[in-house]
Amino acid sequence: MAVSPALADVAVLDGGLASELEMRGYDLSGDLWSARLLREAPDAVRDVHTTYFTVGAGVGISASYQASRAGFERAGMTAAEADRMLQLSVRLVHEARERARERGAAHPMLVAASVGPFGAVRHDGSEYRGRYGIAQRRLVDFHAERIAVLLSGDPDLLAIETVPDLVEAEAVVSALALVGVSRPAWLSFSCADEETTNAGQPIEEAAALVAGAGLAAVGINCTAPRHVAGLVRRIRAAEPDLPIVVYPNAGRTWDAQVGEWRGAGADTIPADTVTAWRRAGADLVGGCCGLGPAAIAALTR
């Protein structure tokens, strides 16, 4: 399976959105997290996307990770208003791409709509555990509803990310079929170690599911950098032709009780580490929580 034509000309993704917004002084407390700023400060979201494109990112991922009708309705919006926020998240990346071009960026730049896990909407850390204990049909319907709305914003691709287990991954695949998605999509897992998803399933099984569904790539994201090389090697051994996307976090641990990242981490990924990931089989590399524009500029170099 070759890299999708939509992704063939890019090698670097953007970095953490919410963590960069926090670095710029914005308050992301509450259940909506970065999606809160779609209503309160959309210009700030656009500015971060623009920065990433300007420093060399070839893919910008929208601020819809934690956004859903249910989440926005809890914040007092109607379903129609919630849908407009989801569409806005994609439009802001489109606008950022145009601004980056105006500033001289000439490299290929793609707009990706973020499809986060069901657990992210709960805002209780369950996206790092999985096994939600809810009916599979509910998961399918949740993802299908949101994917359909995001597609109406005309993204170039879908970034289905931080999925903690195969149960939810299967629901997402069913949702994609239900909606009838024609755009490329990658499905990226959050992992606990060098062998398994956060819910404990072998990464080889996750890769097989993605390959069987005919998606554009399998991914590893919001996972400690030290686990990436081992995961990439296992995926490549199991699925030699499946494109691989990696965008780890800075190596810290999320504390859902206080809503903060804990522990030591790194602000950039060393060049030799990135080289090792590429040699192991990673096709696209970027950053997640805690890895900002400086890290992406370094990746580009």
Three-state secondary-structure class, residue 263: coil
The beta strand positions in 174-252, using DSSP E, are: 185-189, 217-221, 244-247
- Residue 251 carries which DSSP code? S
Mean pLDDT of the chain: 91
Query: For 222-274, what is each residue's pLDDT tens digit?
Result: 999 999 999 999 999 999 999 999 999 986 665 455 555 565 556 788 899 99
Task: For residues 238 and 114, give the distance between their C-alpha atoms in angstroms, rounded to a whole number.
Answer: 26
Domains and CATH numbers, the chain: 18-300 (3.20.20.330)
- Name the residue among 46, 94, 38 with its Cα closest to residue 66: 38
Helices (H), 41-78: 42-55, 69-74
Give the pLDDT confidence of 88-111 residue by residue, as tens digits: 999 999 999 999 999 999 999 999
With bands split at pLDDT 50, 70 and 90, how would you rate the model's confidence at 151? very high
pLDDT band at 1 (very low <50, low <70, confident <90, very high): very low
